[in-house]
Structure 1
Amino acid sequence: MSSDPWGRVDETGTVYVRTAEGEKVVGSWQAGTPEEALAYFERKYEGLVVEIGLLEKRVKTTDLSAKDAQTAIEHIRHQVDEHHVVGDLAALSARLDKLVESVDSRREERKAQKAKQADEARSAKEALVTEAEELAQSEQWRSAGERLRALVDTWKGLPRLDRKSDDELWHRFSHARSAFSKRRKAHFAQLDSQREDARKAKERLVAEAEALQNSADWGATAARYRELMADWKAAGRAQREHEDDLWNRFRGAQDVFFAARSEVFAERDAEQTENLKLKEELAGEAEKLLPVTDLKAARAAFRAVNERWEAIGHVPRDARPKVEGRMHAVERAIQEAEEAEWRRTNPEARARAAGLTGQLQDAVEKLRKQIDAARAAGNDAKADKLSKELEGRQALLDQALKGLEEFGG
């Protein structure tokens, strides 16, 4: 009979292993010595030790699933429980129990991690839905559309939730995208309609502009072109493929008209500039008639100058007030000379002036006598009052005498 601390072989060749519950039969050995029997079953024990060690390492260092780990543990535990090896079976059971604890711990960790990831995914998807619903109301068609497409890519990269939650969130997300697409489509359909209306309106404006381009009615046509330009701006933009062509035709018609007008105006400006030189010379000639010494000769000379003036034609608008003002000044001076001559030679006016002068002289003489009488009587207050009245009458008399002098009197 042979034995060691963990097992023995009896005289019949039966191999036993020692456990806390007592000896357990390992098996029967008839092929050799008892020592060889013990060695064989000890090697089988070492095999379990190695297998457990490898499983411990896998559980610790790899992503071995809890299910696969549990299956491997049960397989080894079954071998330990069958006690077909010789060695410290309790130690192996203890190591397997610790492995179970490790696997359970990792299972809980993964469960918590999975729950955390699910919560994060839910929060992320809810945020995507909220943003998509906000974007659904946007009128920034390009940027909002690009952002919604980016949100779809982000959604695809997130883990799925439970079917119900995932379906509900996706329904809201998809509905927001559809609502935006519907609004954008309606907007651009309306825009297309507006641009078509603008195209038709601008074609009418172009037709009128082209019909006016050869007009020589410069003022009215230029005013109409300004109105057409205002109508053009108010019409809005046509489709891109039509807008530039319509504008080139519209602008081209205006260019034809305004180029012709500019050419005519340039010729007119040159003519009016020459007219200005001639009128300035005539104004200078008229100014030489002043001061008037011979009214008849001055009147005849001015009439001749004015006839030549009227025959010349227009001058530049900004120069007109100055040059015409010079002629008007000469004309007024001659008119004033005529009025003075008329007053001087008019018998009725002279008689009226003489009569007024006589009346004023009589009144002045009378006042002087009244003043002398008042002072002689010692009534200075009355004399002072009459003196003030005398000053007024004397001033009128002086003026009347001056007017009478103009009549040669």
Structure 2
Amino acid sequence: MTTQPQTDSNDTPEQNAPQQAAAPTQAEEELQKDLDRREELCRQAEQVAEERDWRHGSGDLRRLQEQWNDIRRWHDPREDALWGRFKTAREAYYQARDAAHEQARAAKEKLVAEAERLAKSDQWNATAERMRTLMDDWKAAGRTGDREEDDRLWERFNAARRGFFDRRSEHFTQLDEQRAKAKETKERLVHEATLAAATSADWTGDQWAKASARMRELMDQWKAAGVAPKADNDRLWEEFQAARKPFFDAQHAHYEALDAARKAAAEAKQRLIDQARQLAQGNDFGHEATERAKQLDRDWKATGFAGKELGDRLWKEFTTAKEEFWDKRRAHNDQRHEEWLQRTRDAIDRRKQRIANLQEQIDRLQDRLNHAYATDHVEEMQERLDDRREALAQVEAEVRDMESQLKD
């Protein structure tokens, strides 16, 4: 730092002391002019200190210092006061400059640290915007006052930014390639969906299930294809939906018809259940009621499918009602059979008693006939004997037939 200039040993006496030949008023005028010049230099130095132009300020202060040195030294106390003022302005400038340089260094180091941290980010848009803000902040940070330090920090800062933007550029290049591939894939899926949407009214349930699985497979492939360019992606989605719509419309109509058929089948089955319950609650087990019960089974098979869960429940109700009818019919028939057995046994007993009576009659007639004389109506007795034997044979045949029925 330049100090207040001292008197040089080569100065002439005329320069170092007031000229004796000059009038006092002239010396005072020259002194005042020099003081005014120093006052102006102080003002300019203060202005430089206030403006804080770090690029030109030092040069301006050196120029002002040189101008100060060129002014004649009067050894006036006012000169010392002005020198203190000039020196204060100059020191204020350099102190502020050094503080600004240190602040710039700290700001740049902070910006470098953030840039290096963000260089690894995958938040491409937000990070790119932040990198641009960091660049604005870098420009506003100023210089550190050390060119090598500025260059070193700049190299780190710029390398971090360049590394991020290179990765970002590579990412968007890959993204463009992926979107182009996604567009190609989705165009193919639109075509395949159009083909898969063809249906037939006579499809079986398995065919509808396979077609539905194919549509789900196409949707899974669509999701896995990624995103095409926005304009194409929206258009292709609309085309894909339009291609699939005929299938889903036909599927909806098919299942609506199926639901209606199942509902009709369930209603028909419920009517058959009601009829089976009526049969079970009645006491008619004749041929007509039996045939009606058998017909209910045939009608049930013809009603169609009512759905797994509902169909199982209705079938259980139906079989319960049917079994009740058949159980009661069997019990009724068993009772009738027992009654028939008893009647048949009673009839056999009666016929056996008659056989015994007839055999007794035959024996008496035969004995009489064996001891009869010609005058004892032999022919009449023989005719009566033959009648009794014929009746006995008929009753014995009836007994054998009944006993055979009992065995069967």
TM range (shorter): 0.5 to 0.7
Normalising to structure 2: TM-score of the pair? Answer: 0.65
Aligned counterpart, 2:252 = 262
> What is the Cα deviation at residue 261 of structure 1?
2.2
Alpha-carbon distance in 2 for matches of 1:110, 1:24: 35
Structure 2 residue 317 is matched with structure 1 residue 323: no
Cα offset, 1:338, TM superposition: 6.1
**What is residue 226 of structure 1 aligned with on the other side?**
216
Structure 1 residues 335 and 198: alpha-carbon distance in aligned structure 2, compared to 1, 3 A threshold: farther
Asked if the contact 1:48–1:76 (Cα under 8 Å) also holds between the matched residues in 2, the reply is no
Q: Distance in 2 between matches of 1:343 and 1:205?
A: 72
Note the C-alpha offset of 1:211: 0.4
> Is contact 2:280-2:322 (8 Å) kept?
no
Q: 1:336 aligns with which of 327, 334, 351?
A: 327
Aligned to 2:132: 149
| From 290, 302, 311, the counterpart of 1:299 | 290
User: In the comparison of the two structures, how many residue pairs are matched?
Assistant: 307
Q: Give the direction of change, closer, same or farther, for the CA distance of 1:156–1:44 in structure 2 (3 Å limit).
A: same
1:77 aligns with 2:72: yes
What secondary structure, in the 3-state scheme, does the structure 1 residue paired with 2:161 have?
A: helix
- 2: CA distance between counterparts of 1:226 and 1:342? 60
Deviation at 1:328, TM superposition (A): 1.1
Q: Could you say which residue in structure 2 is the equivalent of 1:131?
A: 114
CA contact (8 A) 1:66 1:104 kept: no
SS at match of 1:171: helix
Name the residue aligned to 2:241: 251
Change over 3 Å in CA distance of 1:275–1:24 after alignment to 2? closer
- Corresponding letter in the other structure for 1:278: A
Shift of the alpha carbon at 1:47? 4.1
Cα displacement (A) at 1:129 = 0.9
Shift, 1:119, TM fit: 0.9
Taking structure 1 as the reference length, what is the TM-score of the superposition? 0.65
Structure 1 residue 114: deviation in Å? 1.4
Structure 2 contact 186–222 (Cα < 8 Å) conserved: yes
Please give the alpha-carbon distance, in whole angstroms, between the structure 2 residues aligned to 1:55 and 1:190.
69
Distance 1:337 1:268 in 2: 38
Q: Which runs of 4+ in 1 moved over 6 A?
A: 341-347
More deviation, 147-156/313-322: 313-322
Preserved contact between residue 66 and residue 103 of structure 1 (Cα < 8 Å): no
| Distance (whole Å) between structure 1 residues aligned to residue 87 and residue 165 of structure 2 | 50
User: Residues of 1 paired with 2:159 and 2:322: CA distance?
Assistant: 90
Cα displacement (A) at 1:254: 2.1
- Asked whether the 8 Å contact 1:202–1:235 carries over to 2, the reply is yes
Q: Is 1:49 paired with 2:32?
A: yes
Q: CA deviation at 1:109?
A: 2.9
Give the CA deviation at 1:252: 1.6
| One-letter code aligned to 1:26 | Q
Percent identical pairs in the alignment equals 31
Q: How far, CA to CA, are the matches of 1:339 and 1:197 in structure 2?
A: 76
Amino acid at match of 2:100: Q
Q: Using the TM superposition, name which of 281-290 and 105-114 deviates more.
A: 105-114
Q: CA deviation at 1:24?
A: 6.0
What SS does the aligned partner of 1:126 have?
A: helix
Gaps of 5+ in 2: 1-12, 49-59, 342-408
Q: Is the 8 A contact 1:69 1:103 kept in 2?
A: no
Alignment partner of 1:315: what SS?
coil
- The separation in 2 between residues aligned to 1:285 and 1:66, in whole angstroms, is 120
What is the identity, as a one-letter code, of the residue corresponding to 1:55? R
Alignment of 1:162-173 (within 5 A): 162-173=146-157
**CA distance in 2 between partners of 1:250 and 1:18 (Å):** 105
Q: Distance in 2 between matches of 1:308 and 1:72?
A: 127
Distance 1:338 1:286, change over 3 A: closer
> Where does residue 13 of structure 1 map in the other structure?
none
Q: CA deviation at 1:278?
A: 3.0
Q: CA deviation at 1:73?
A: 3.5
- The structural deviation recorded for 1:244 is 1.7
CA distance in 2, matches of 1:288, 1:160: 106
